[in-house]
Structure 1
């Protein structure tokens, strides 16, 4: 059975019954030292949507400033189709920024982006591409995100942009993501918005992507980046917490292992994390429980025990106090939001 036939059979749709939409034309502007994983995560999602359905839902065009090949941060050169001076008509252009961010040498590209401000075209930033969009004024009064490493500087330099810590942001015709695999999450969202969650889930399955993350999910900022490397005792204590989720350590035990007094450890947490060790530890365990509820088939009781809760009632109460829903309600809600593809494993080959 052909790939498109398998998809039509699973969704109850047939090519003769559905009117073919015009393909979306997405351009990807590659900057020197662009992130290869973020770029690939984005374009491969679009390619897979076409392959699954047998339709040309998306056309992708690769662009560089002068039309020459561009080297990624890994040094791999990528050929492009166009320069900025000979672009075809596009529905959206995504800026694939340098990794790490390049704050100089992009004046010509920023100027070109600024001149496109009135164009009937969406603009996207992948990874540090958001920074160039902000420099061009294209994110003024929009929600946007960027890789956690550059969040603080983006907020500081562009106060008119509502910078969030989310994996990706869709605000009108502005699409930004934090880079890495978050580029796939953003594209899956756009695919689902345009062609239905069924197709987005099928694309996700082909890449063995455990689940589609929503725009409301936040990037996890490493503790060392949040508080700096000059607090080794605090970082060591949190590392111990993360390694002992199923059998939590007491605050006294944590203090003993890192070689400080309980009072000193509590002061460190209060000063740098605005909480006490026991509350921080509980939040870590509940976050882990939430991930298991969404991603595993374990029972609620098994998840509670795996996250250090001695009883189902204690787990349920703590979870409801933190997230506003019980673990069972969380799982039910997550199940209703995740589409069932109905595609047999044997019918699709990645």
Structure 2
């Protein structure tokens, strides 16, 4: 009986976590920690991640913890996935450099997601046009009022 060779590891998927001032640390951790844990359990690097600032300089989370992103939207490298993480002001957030980078990344094959209230930012930037999204129930009424043509699931 022939033995099968184990599958060769593929290149790790690269995630970019795009953070804006006031981002919730719990949401930020909920993106990175499962990726880290998966790498540990798989005993190889399935995922890697970078932190991208939506604004220049250090970014302060809602709990006061300050992080220094490795990149900013205008100089971020090609990634496979982008997860936008923004806080309670996401319904007013405008960041053209970040939206431009996301659009360029989508054209290059990336996929996007959002945690906390970042769907507001994506919708305002036109990045959810023609798509459905999910959102925490406490934000659904405000989102539907602001973006009635985007389907919530």
Asked if these proteins are the same fold (TM beyond 0.5), I'd say yes
In structure 1, the residue matched to 2:112 is 123
What is the TM-score when the length of structure 2 is the normalising length?
0.86
Question: What is the CA distance between 1:34 and its match in structure 2?
Answer: 0.4
Structure having the higher helix fraction is 1
In structure 2, the residue matched to 1:133 is 122
SS of residue in 1 equivalent to 2:7: coil
Question: What is the CA distance between 1:23 and its match in structure 2?
Answer: 0.6
Shift in alpha-carbon separation, 1:155–1:104, aligned structure 2, 3 A = closer
Q: Does 2:97 align with 1:101?
A: no
Instruction: Give me the whole-angstrom Cα distance separating, in 1, the residues matched to 2:13 and 2:117.
Output: 24
SS of residue in 1 equivalent to 2:15: strand
Question: What is the CA distance between 1:118 and its match in structure 2?
Answer: 3.2
Q: Which has the larger radius of gyration?
A: 1
Which structure exhibits the higher relative contact order, with contacts defined as CA atoms closer than 8 Å and separated by 6 or more residues?
Answer: 2
The Cα offsets for residues 224-244 of structure 1, whole Å up to 9 and x where unpaired, read as: xxxxxxxxxxxxxxxxxxxxx
What is the TM-score when the length of structure 1 is the normalising length?
0.40
The Cα offsets for residues 133-163 of structure 1, whole Å up to 9 and x where unpaired, read as: 1111121222211222210121122222111
Q: 2:61 aligns with which of 69, 72, 75?
A: 72
Q: 2:131 aligns with which of 142, 163, 172?
A: 142
In structure 2, the residue matched to 1:29 is 18
Instruction: Give me the whole-angstrom Cα distance separating, in 2, the residues matched to 1:153 and 1:91.
Output: 30
User: For this pair of structures, how many residues does the alignment match?
Assistant: 148
Shift in alpha-carbon separation, 1:113–1:153, aligned structure 2, 3 A = farther
The question of whether the paired residues in 2 share the 8 Å contact of 1:27 and 1:62 is answered with yes
Unpaired segments ≥5 residues, structure 1: 1-15, 165-350
In structure 1, the residue matched to 2:75 is 86
SS of residue in 2 equivalent to 1:59: strand
The question of whether the paired residues in 2 share the 8 Å contact of 1:26 and 1:91 is answered with yes
Unpaired segments ≥5 residues, structure 2: none
Q: 2:42 aligns with which of 42, 46, 53?
A: 53
Shift in alpha-carbon separation, 1:133–1:113, aligned structure 2, 3 A = farther
Instruction: Give me the whole-angstrom Cα distance separating, in 1, the residues matched to 2:49 and 2:137.
Output: 27
SS of residue in 2 equivalent to 1:25: strand
Q: Does 2:146 align with 1:157?
A: yes
The question of whether the paired residues in 2 share the 8 Å contact of 1:110 and 1:133 is answered with no
Instruction: Give me the whole-angstrom Cα distance separating, in 2, the residues matched to 1:66 and 1:115.
Output: 17
Structure having the higher strand fraction is 2
Instruction: Give me the whole-angstrom Cα distance separating, in 1, the residues matched to 2:46 and 2:102.
Output: 29
Output the aligned Cα RMSD: 1.9
